[in-house]
Amino acid sequence: MGKTIAIANQKGGVGKTTTSVNLGACLAYIGKKVLLVDIDPQGNATSGIGIEKADVAQCIYDVLVDDVEAKDVIKPTSVENLYAIPATIQLAGAEIELVPTISREVRLKRALEEVKDQFDYIIIDCPPSLGLLTLNSLTASDSVLIPVQCEYYALEGLSQLLNTVRLVQKHLNQDLKIEGVLLTMLDARTNLGIQVIEEVKKYFQDKVYKTIIPRNVRLSEAPSHGEPIITYDSKSRGAEVYLDLAKEVVSNG
């Protein structure tokens, strides 16, 4: 039975998509069968993995809103063992269209249940909000991985996210766990990063991954080539650290 991990933080630009794509690809690289689910209307994970949005006939929108089966929207990627359910801008309407529908928060969970046993890991790239799409993701997941950018106010907004996690645990998915907190975009040249690491560790303690993601230019270049870092530049620091993260995630069980 596969493990489903939502990558969530309602702040934009903290590294959710970079982590979804590269953790997914690195898990696949070490032999796990992985499904990457893009549930952000911006579709950055979709293009980041090399899927041309113009060529996508059906996406996660059709699964959530029109009851299309997950297996019918899963696409292979250029990375062996890595599959994806893409998102297109059509998904932007889902947040509103789902409001009056029955069991609106459990639609993704029901859809993924049908394919879960075919994968070792399902990674869900959440949008930068705590709306219905993120609620669907948290309800469908075994755990949530929270990327936190190493900058001032790193912890700001996290109490809101944790509150949402508690509400989901109470009403929708009592088994939801915190998978881990990932520090991202560390700039090793400043003292600020060190302060933030300490602050986040004080708050989340052993939930913080040993692996810390530094700023790495190759990581920011890879998406425009439609490739995860492990194929774009396997020798880069970015590839090294996301491979470390994948191993840490596996060893945490």
Residues near Mg ion, by CB under 5 A: 16-17, 44
Any idea of the CA torsion for 31, 228, 129, 114, to the nearest 10 degrees?
-40
Mark 214-233 with x for binding to ligand ADP (rule: CB under 6 A) and - for no binding: -xx--xx--x----------
Distances (CA, A) of 115 to 4, 37, 85, 99, 163: 11, 12, 12, 25, 29
Minimum distance from CB of 18 to Mg ion (Å)?
Answer: 8
Q: Minimum CB separation from ligand ADP for residue 1, in Å?
A: 27
Of 98 and 229, which has the nearer Cβ to ligand ADP?
A: 229
Indicate the helix (H) or strand (E) that contains 183: strand 177-184
How near is the Cβ of 62 to Mg ion at its closest, in Å?
21
158-171 and 132-140 helices, crossing angle to 10°: 60
Residue 44 lies near ligand ADP (rule: CB under 6 A): yes
Distance from CA of residue 11 to its chain's centroid? 13
The distance of closest approach from Cβ of residue 46 to ligand ADP in the complex, given in angstroms and rounded to an integer, is: 12
Q: Tell the smallest beta-carbon distance from residue 243 to Mg ion (Å).
A: 21
**CB nearer ligand ADP, residue 12 or residue 93:** 12
Q: What is the side-by-side strand order in the sheet with 3-7? A: 75-76, 82-85, 34-38, 121-125, 3-7, 143-149, 177-184
Residue 86 interaction partner, one of Mg ion, ligand ADP, none, beta carbon < 5-8 Å per kind? none
Pairing of the two strands 82-85 and 75-76: antiparallel
Work out what residue 103 binds among ligand ADP, Mg ion, none; the CB cut-off runs from 5 to 8 Å by kind: none
How far, in Å, CA of 216 to CA of 239, rounded?
A: 10
> How many residues touch ligand ADP (CB under 6 A)?
17
| Closer residue to ligand ADP, CB minimum distance, 116 or 149 | 149
Q: Which stretch binds ligand ADP (CB under 6 A): 7-15, 53-61, 87-95, 160-168?
A: 7-15
Q: What share of the chain is helix, strand, coil (3-state, %, to 5)?
A: 45, 15, 40
**Partner in contact with 41, chosen from Mg ion, ligand ADP, none, beta carbon below 5 to 8 Å by kind:** none
39 lines the binding site for ligand ADP (CB under 6 A): no
Annotate 158-182 with b (16+ C-beta within 10 A) or e (fewer): beebeebbeebeeebbeebeebbbb
Q: Which two tokens stand for residue 8?
A: 């969530």
Out of 213, 229, 239, 245, which residue is the one contacting ligand ADP (CB under 6 A)? 213
Contact residues toward ligand ADP (CB under 6 A) are 12-18, 44, 128, 184-185, 213, 215-216, 219-220, 223
